[in-house]
């Protein structure tokens, strides 16, 4: 698929959520059906702690009729490349192209402590995984060049690999400046889908607290830390309690108009699709009210 085909399929704005990972399965499936009824075209789910992501995606697809379910991301260490290739082909054949496979190498702590595997060089690991996926026989035919998948990418090498071996890139915890830079690295043709954290509130102090609690542990990860520094911030913004300026760059805080404005900034910077992660300070409760309030974003052209 090219950029326009991806955008037509996923829409300009989608929902990214980890809250389904910790909810009862039937509750999450009903929430996905409501998202579809509200007009959202795409639901992104991570591979977190309590759900195997391809099984989770299958159940959400079965609970809906039109919604695209995307993995943001499926960990390459969690399953063989052959299993990932066959699952992707089967799901897209069964659900008429409503599944998007996002792949990522994750992080050393997750891979080594949770999965009990060795974390190798990310670029070589991903390239080898894609080679094996593309060599997999069986199942429905796969598009040449792997352009029906996206890769989690922040740095220049992984972004270039996403341009060469996938349909594009999915970014996370990155400011608007990174979206513009990523577009330059990718070039004009690949799809780009940043995830944007948002706090829907009229209490700025509360919003900053919720946003900081989300981003502070994340940017301790070396990959995200390096990306923040590459985007124009300095170590003081990270190490001295996470500056308000950095929190504001990574999280849209405010009302519906404020969040819509941040989405437009990413789109103007070169994003094709922006997936919104609603932060409430509670990852165990599905933020349906916020999704309802933000639903006009999901149907914008």
pLDDT digit string, tens, across residues 174-215: 999 999 999 999 999 999 999 999 999 999 999 999 999 999
The pLDDT-based confidence of 37 (bands split at 50, 70, 90) is: very high
Say if residue 143's pLDDT is above 70: yes
Q: Which of 84-98, 108-122, 281-295 has the lowest mean pLDDT?
A: 108-122
Is 93 a residue whose pLDDT tops 70?
A: yes
Look at 35-44, 66-75, 203-212, 233-242 and tell me which has the smallest mean pLDDT.
233-242
Query: What gap in Å lies between CA 297 and CA 277, rounded to an integer?
Result: 13
CATH number at residue 292: 3.20.20.30
Lowest mean pLDDT among 42-56, 110-124, 217-231: 110-124
Per the structure, the complete domain to which residue 88 belongs is given by 3-298
Looking at the chain, how many residues does it have?
Answer: 301
pLDDT tens digits for 259-287? 999 999 999 999 999 999 999 999 999 99
Give the pLDDT score at 301. Answer: 61
Rounded to whole angstroms, how far apart are CA atoms 143 and 159? 20
Cut 0.85: pTM above it: yes
Please say whether the beta carbons of 3 and 266 come within 8 A.
no
Confidence class for position 141, pLDDT limits 50, 70, 90: confident
Return d(Cα 292, Cα 287) in angstroms, integer.
9
Residue 298 confidence (pLDDT): 85
Q: Which residues pair with 168 in a beta bridge?
A: 150, 191
**pLDDT at residue 66, as a whole number:** 97
Number of domains in the chain: 1
* Predicted confidence band of residue 18 (pLDDT cuts 50, 70, 90): very high
The span from the CA of 232 to the CA of 172, in Å, is 16
Residues of the chain with pLDDT > 70, as a percent, come to 99
Number of other residues whose CB lies within 10 A of the CB of residue 55: 11
């Amino acid at each position: 698929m090219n950029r326009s085909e991806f955008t037509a399929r996923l829409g300009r704005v989608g929902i990214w959520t980890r809250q389904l990972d910790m909810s009862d399965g039937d509750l999450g499936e009903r929430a996905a059906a409501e998202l579809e009824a509200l007009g959202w075209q795409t639901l992104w789910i991570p591979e977190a702690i309590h759900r195997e992501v391809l099984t989770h995606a299958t159940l959400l697809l079965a609970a809906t009729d039109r919604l695209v379910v995307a993995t943001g991301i499926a960990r390459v260490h969690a399953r063989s490349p052959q299993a990932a290739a066959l699952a992707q082909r089967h799901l897209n054949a069964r659900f008429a192209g409503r599944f998007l496979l996002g792949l990522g190498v994750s992080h050393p702590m997750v891979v080594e402590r949770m999965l009990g595997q060795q974390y190798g060089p990310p670029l070589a690991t991903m390239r080898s995984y894609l080679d094996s996926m593309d060599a997999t026989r069986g199942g429905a035919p796969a598009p040449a060049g792997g352009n029906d998948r996206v890769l989690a990418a922040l740095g220049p090498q992984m972004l270039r690999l996403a341009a060469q071996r996938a349909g594009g890139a999915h970014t996370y915890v990155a400011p608007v400046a990174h979206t513009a830079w990523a577009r330059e690295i990718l070039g004009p043709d690949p799809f780009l889908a940043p995830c944007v954290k948002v706090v829907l509130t009229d209490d700025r102090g509360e919003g900053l607290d919720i946003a900081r609690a989300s981003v502070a542990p994340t940017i301790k990860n070396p990959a995200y830390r390096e990306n923040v520094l590459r985007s124009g911030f300095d170590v003081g913004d990270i190490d001295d309690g996470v500056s308000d300026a950095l929190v504001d760059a990574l999280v849209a805080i405010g009302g519906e108009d404020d969040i819509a404005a941040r989405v437009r900034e990413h789109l103007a910077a070169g994003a094709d699709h922006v997936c919104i992660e609603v932060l409430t300070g509670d990852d165990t409760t599905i933020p349906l009210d916020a999704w309802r309030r933000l639903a006009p974003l999901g149907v914008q052209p």
